[in-house]
Amino acid sequence: VFCGVCGSMCRRKDIRGKVYWVCHRHDQEKSRCPVPQVPEAEITSAVLRLYHKLAQDPARIFRPMAERLRELRELELRSNRKITDIDKEIARLSEQNLVLVRLKSKGYVDPALYLSQQDEITHKLKELKKLRRRALEASGEDQQLQNTEAILEYLEDSGRPFQRETVDEELFEFLIQRLTVYSAETVKFRLYNGLELAETMERAVR
């Protein structure tokens, strides 16, 4: 949990049996940061409201997002000259292999020569595919796309939204990466795929 004004981490504080989250600077001296302490119960309610909204229809938000990220990834890969050259060579060898198969079916190629050339083409294709995998690894995988797909899978598999009545570690392992308190009224959540969403506290307690 972080403070949205000064950027400090918030600490969990028990005051006469009631738990609050408070900005470290504000806790040291109120004049150092205007963000007040916020009851943990209010943050918990905001987390649950966020979860319920997302879990009602996760595909509506995250599937189009994943598709768009996948399109951007494909554009990025097509602009990679090394991968493009490898793809062209794979396409050329695949076409060459198809021509060879057609010639053999018509009896224009000696069987021994056919097998020899086909083995050579198969070997080259395997090597090119290895090179392509290495090039993809070097370019880096799209972590945002992977995280978006993981969030979608988590929300679709987590059961009916109304079945969740408490906040547990699972929500912060699969869904919420960071929680930022901006005021007694507003908290913002950053999901693991970078999407940021704000929730309003039910009661403003200063």
Q: Is the same domain home to 50 and 67?
A: no
Residue 153 inside a domain? The answer is no
Q: Is the same domain home to 14 and 39?
A: yes
Q: Is the same domain home to 75 and 132?
A: yes
Residue 87 inside a domain? The answer is yes
Q: Is the same domain home to 20 and 50?
A: yes
pLDDT exceeds cutoff 50 at 6: yes
Domain count, the chain: 2
CA dihedral 30, 35, 37, 42 (to 10 degrees): 170
Mean pLDDT of the chain: 87
Burial group, residue 206, by CB count within 10 angstroms (0-12, 13-18, 19+): exposed
Beta bridge partners of 190: 178, 196
pLDDT exceeds cutoff 70 at 67: yes
- One-letter amino acid at 59 equals A
Region 44-56: mean pLDDT is: 91
Residue 148 inside a domain? The answer is no
In this predicted model, which residue has the larger pLDDT, 59 or 157? 59
CA dihedral 121, 127, 130, 134 (to 10 degrees): -130
pLDDT band at 163 (very low <50, low <70, confident <90, very high): low
pLDDT exceeds cutoff 50 at 204: no
Residue 74 inside a domain? The answer is yes
Whole-angstrom Cα distance, residue 118 to residue 124?
Answer: 10
Q: Is the same domain home to 66 and 56?
A: no
Q: Is the same domain home to 66 and 138?
A: yes
Q: For position 205, what pLDDT does the model report? A: 39
pLDDT band at 206 (very low <50, low <70, confident <90, very high): very low
Q: Residues 41, 45, 51, CA angle at the centre, nearest 5°?
A: 145
Interacting residues of 128 by C-beta distance below 8 A, sequence separation 6+:
86, 89, 90, 93
Residue 16 inside a domain? The answer is yes
Backbone phi, psi, residue 115, to 5°: -65, -40
Burial group, residue 196, by CB count within 10 angstroms (0-12, 13-18, 19+): exposed
Closest CA to 1 of 29, 19, 21, 20: 21
Instruction: Name the one residue in this structure whose structure tokens are 């205007």.
Output: 34
Residue 206 inside a domain? The answer is no
Q: Domain range for residue 100?
A: 62-143
Region 186-203: mean pLDDT is: 88
Q: Is the same domain home to 38 and 103?
A: no
Residue 51 inside a domain? The answer is yes
Burial group, residue 23, by CB count within 10 angstroms (0-12, 13-18, 19+): buried
Residue 10 inside a domain? The answer is yes
Whole-angstrom Cα distance, residue 9 to residue 49?
Answer: 23
Percent of residues in the chain assigned helix, strand, coil, to nearest 5: 60, 15, 25
Q: Is the same domain home to 44 and 7?
A: yes
Ranges 25-29, 80-84, 161-165, 166-170: which has the least confidence: 161-165
